[in-house]
Amino acid sequence: MPSPFSAETGEAIQRARQHSVGDLLRRTALRHPDKLAVVAGERRVGYAEFDAAVNRCAHRLAARGLAKGDRLALLSHNSWPYAVLVFATAKLGVVLVPVNFMLGADEIAFILGHAGASGLIAEDALLTVAREALDRAGLGDVVRGRIGGTAEDWDDVDAWIDGPGDESAPDVLVADDDPLRLMYTSGTESRPKGVMLSSRSLIAQYTSCAIDGSMSGDDVEVHSLPLYHCAQLDCFFSVDVYLGATSVILPGPDPAALLAAVERERATKLFAPPTVWISLLRHEAFGTTDLSSLRKGYYGASPMPVEVLRELARRLPDVEFWNFYGQTEMAPLATILRPHDQLPKAGSAGRASLNVETRIVDSQGRPVPPGEVGEIVHRSPHTTLGYYEDEAKTAAAFDGGWFHSGDLGVLDEDGYLSVVDRKKDMIKTGGENVASREVEEVLYQLDGVAEVAVFGVAHPHWIEAVTAAVVPLPGVTLTPEAVIAHARTRLAGYKCPKYVVFTDALPKNPSGKIVKRELRTRHAGLAETAG
């Protein structure tokens, strides 16, 4: 219905009701001005100081011509300026475009061009690739900011943050569904898609994380996974800011640095994907580091092998664990497996989180009964506003009024979700479907296996052959025959690996996910060479 009020009154009401991501920091700073907000290197910053730094930076961004709706790309490892820029852009209504720092110039150029970026901020160590990407994207006259270093042709972002400036909040009206983030998904079979997220998406997701993840303002959390990834940024760091918790920011998930930070800061909370939890368990300092402060552990990005979960329960008996499952388009949380379900429902992704409704559907979008595999779909305010500049993919993703995840899953009689596989990771061998996850769980039960990834390679007879890449524990010698024999004691013959390759490490992206497409490419000719 049309507004019963004048435009002036309507705007006044909007301002009074505004609840955007940028508002969260200000409100936390008003509640807890002196509470320790961020620890980054030698810097230790309270909430009032954090908010003032964000305001100074926001006004400098505005002075450089950036305004509500403009896109600003950020290419950097985790740092204090990264934390500031997340909230400075949100206060202005500028759309932040976090960029994976592992990408090459061509890949970054595509993101900059597709997003129509009005500026790029890059850390000094990445300026070479940043310059090249801007040139290839044909973006000459844009805002260029550097974090660290002395390059005179790039603005000094550290001066924006730490120098004198206006510490008042920017006077910008940001509505619930104004885009604030443009998150580019990793392209596996095509160019990455730009996922648009709004304050409504993000704050609804923060609420689900906080309540279902038992988070509080008393938490002290170490953030070591990349903040360009929505899991660390929006399931954990931004939620900590919302609640008034303390965030310890590390540049990356180095096991020794991570363990030392937990001990030094008396951290109570830690998120890491399974690969990083495994690296901590295997590190020589794990047994001698004081981890007694830890009370909450979270994992996601990929399923936790059941054997590793049992080991964590033995070695960290006072830590409760949660499994967060979702994807960028869900901002990113969809379902949660809570602590009391970790072993009884081991391997499960849990049940829909607070603000999410989840079901399994067939190829026609019809719900399937418990125990039957189908596509995982969701309804939730968490969901993306759509894919930037891509009507066709947006329409397909929201077919039938549900968000289609592209994951295959099954619900049990209790409503717990098990993710069978990504559609693209399902191995089709000899006319049968094999879920790589099922095979991996079995191989993790073999003594001497540190890590494993199962994938398919082209085969003249089987079409695809089940293949396992195995990382043995230090000092352990395994053979392909032993691995395959172990699998045969627990799996149907067609599910067992046809090939086993050994490696010192599995390829991973900075978020800790195993990059199976790299394994498929690396071993594409295995059937020909192995015979």
What are the tens digits of pLDDT across the range 485-520? 999 998 878 889 999 999 999 998 777 778 888 899
Portions of the chain given CATH number 3.30.300.30? 426-530
Tokens 């270093």 sit on residue: 149
**Cβ density class 81-94: b for 16+ within 10 Å, e for less:** bbbbbbbbbbbbbb
Tell me what the mean pLDDT of segment 366-383 comes to.
96
Q: Which of 345-359, 450-464, 512-526 is modeled with the greatest confidence?
A: 345-359
Q: Is the pLDDT reported for residue 32 higher than 80?
A: yes
On the question of pLDDT at 274 being above 90, the answer is no
Q: Does a cis peptide bond (omega within 30 degrees of 0) precede residue 332?
A: yes
pTM for this predicted structure: 0.84
Which CATH number among 2.60.120.260, 3.40.50.720, 3.10.310.10, 3.40.50.12780 corresponds to the domain 204-423? 3.40.50.12780
Give the residue, 4 or 217, on which the prediction is more confident.
Answer: 217
Strand, coil or helix: 142: coil
Residue 429: per-residue pLDDT = 82
What's the topology of domain 426-530? GMP Synthetase; Chain A, domain 3 (3.30.300)
Q: Cα torsion for 287, 292, 295, 297, to the nearest 10°?
A: -20
What is the CA 466 to chain-centroid distance, rounded?
28
What are the C-alpha distances in Å from 34 to residues 24, 38, 219, 220? Answer: 16, 11, 16, 15
Q: Given this model, what pLDDT does residue 494 score?
A: 81
- Classify 44 in phi/psi space as left (phi over 0), alpha (psi -120 to 50) or beta: beta
Please report the pLDDT score of residue 273 as a whole number.
Answer: 87
pLDDT in the model for residue 189: 42
Residue 422, number of CB atoms within 10 A of its CB: 17
DSSP string, 382-394: TS-SEETT-HHHH
Sequence ranges of the chain with CATH classification 3.40.50.980:
19-174
Question: Can you tell me the distance from the alpha carbon of 175 to that of 215, in angstroms, rounded to the nearest whole number?
Answer: 26
To the question of domain 19-174 being in CATH 1.10.760.10, the answer is no
What integer is the mean pLDDT of 424-450?
82
CA atoms within 13 A on the CB side of 57: 28
pLDDT of amino acid 188: 39
List every span in the chain annotated with CATH 3.40.50.12780: 204-423
**DSSP H/E element including 324:** strand 320-326
Give the per-residue pLDDT at 506: 94
Show the tokens assigned to 275: 């690969």
